[in-house]
Amino acid sequence: MEEVKTFESICNLLRNRSYKLTPQRQTILQTFLENVDSHLSAEEVYMLVKHQNPEIGLATVYRTLDILAEIGILLKNDFGDGRSRYEFSRQDEHHHHHHLICLGCGNVSEFDDDLLESLEAVIVKRNKFKIMDHDLKFYGYCHRCGEAH
C-alpha cells in the first residue's frame, strides 16, 4: 500500500478548501490513520471515535466522511451490504485496487493483482472504447467462513 497522507497534510487540504478543522474532524481523521487498511462504515467510525470524543454525533461522522470523500481523501465504496464503507484513496494508482467480500462475516480485504490489463486492451481495440477505470469485487467466503459452507 502506498504511504498514506500525513495528518498534517490532510488538515492543510481541509483548510485550503475552507473547511473548519474541528476537534471532531481531527478525531475522525486520526481514526482512519490508525486503521489505514480498514474499510470502515460510518457506524464503525462512530463506535471508534465516541470513546475519545463522547459528544460526537453520528450525523457529524456522516458529514465528515462525505466531506473527506468529496475532496478525495477517502473513497466511498458500496460492497452490497447496505452501508457505505470508506478507505483512504490511492491517488497514484491508475486503477483502483480490487476487493474480496466475504458473504459470511462481511470482511473486506484487498488484492492488487491487476490481471485485467490484457482484457482492457482487447476491449479498447475491439470496441474503440477508452477505459478510464474499472472496479472489481469478488463475493465469496473467507478461509474462516468457507469451512462452514
Provide Rg for the chain, Cα atoms: 18
Q: Identify which of 38, 39, 37 has the alpha carbon closest to the alpha carbon of residue 1.
A: 37
Tell me whether residue 11 is annotated as binding. Answer: no
CA–CA separation, 124 and 118 (whole Å) = 10
Tell me whether residue 117 is annotated as binding. Answer: yes
* Maximal C-alpha separation, the chain: 57
CA–CA separation, 39 and 54 (whole Å) = 23
Q: In what order do the strands lie in the sheet with 74-78?
A: 40-41, 84-88, 74-78
Checking phi first, is residue 72 left (phi over 0); if not, alpha (psi -120 to 50) or beta? left
Tell me whether residue 39 is annotated as binding. Answer: no
Which residues define the annotated binding site for Fe cation?
A: 96, 117, 134
Annotated binding-site residue numbers for Zn(2+): 102, 105, 142, 145
Q: Which residues are annotated as a binding site?
A: 96, 102, 105, 117, 134, 142, 145
